[in-house]
Amino acid sequence: MLFADTVVSDPAVHKPKVMLIMLVVATFLLTLFGLNDTIYGEFMRPVIGEPKESGFFGNVATGFVLAIIFVINVVLIGFAAFRVQILIVWLELLLLFLAFFYSFGLNYEFIQSKIWFMITQGVFTTLYISAISIVLASIVAIFGAVAKLSSNGFAFAIASFYTSFFRGLPLLMQVYLIYLGLPQLGYVIDAVPAGVLALTLCYGAYMTEIFRAGIQSINKGQWEASRSMGFGFALTMRRIILPQAMPLIIPPTGNQFIAMLKDSSLVSVIGVWELMFLARTLGNKDFRHMEMLITAALIYWCLSICLELIQSRIERHYNTISH
């Protein structure tokens, strides 16, 4: 049962002081923005004329009207169920963002002609690079976490140096160092493997600490019990330690994967045909930069939402097993 399901919603209509404070604050903020003709200039022009000619009191009146609408919206939503409130607010915020983008005067025919290519080519490459990188980073993180928990000074020194170095350098710099530096050593690497390697090493360093914390959270008695049963180190990790640590490891690892999905855009600087590279290239070709950037932003957001849903299902699965 979710915490929100146990809370009884108390509509704001039963709290006149709260409503009054919300009304005053909303009026002030909307008036402040209205003085710059950025929020409701077009919306209220048929009623009060040109915003710049309406004066301070006209802006206050307009802000007061919009504040009343805002407060009524909050009050009415308060009567709905918790999940319905979330859905309504999400839809309202989405409409606000769409209205914001609509004000840019975008060429939707151009977006329609390019979006399918961006999805089939850019999204596929982005997911391909991110998926391979997160798997390799997880493997690196397991070994790094075990080394940092080891009493062997040599192993601990290597793992600690690795995490310190790759967490201390910007990812973009790592991409350049790998792509341009390895050929100096006689090993020429293509753009996609260079991007995967950079993402793997960078996020492997961050995930090493995540795995270390998850493994360290398991009681030492589990290790002693497994040794008394004759289990080796690998079998103990696979059958006893990691299954118990996964509920703690999964949430931050999922967050790292979402972050990696977005940071994969940095490999576009070395010519990988991922989503950001295509957005820049297609936009530059026809001087439609904003159309392509907004399209890429919405695609990234949709991908992140899908990953969040997958992450929540995995978390529920491991929480069910642990209980």
Residues of the chain with CATH 1.10.3720.10: 108-322
pLDDT tens, position by position, 46-76: 444 454 455 555 566 666 666 666 666 677 7
On whether the pTM is more than 0.85, the answer is no
Query: From residue 61, how far is each of 29, 101, 257 by CA, in Å?
Result: 12, 27, 48
pLDDT tens, position by position, 95-153: 878 888 887 888 889 989 899 989 888 899 999 999 999 999 999 999 999 999 888 89
Q: What is the pLDDT of residue 218?
A: 86
CA atoms within 13 A on the CB side of 251: 6
Q: Which CATH class is domain 108-322?
A: mainly alpha
CB 149 within 8 A of CB 215: yes
User: For the chain, which residues score pLDDT lower than 70?
Assistant: 1-73, 321-323
Q: What is the pLDDT of residue 61?
A: 63
- Give the CA dihedral 49, 54, 59, 65, nearest 10 degrees: -40
| 266 closest CA partner among 164, 165, 177 | 177
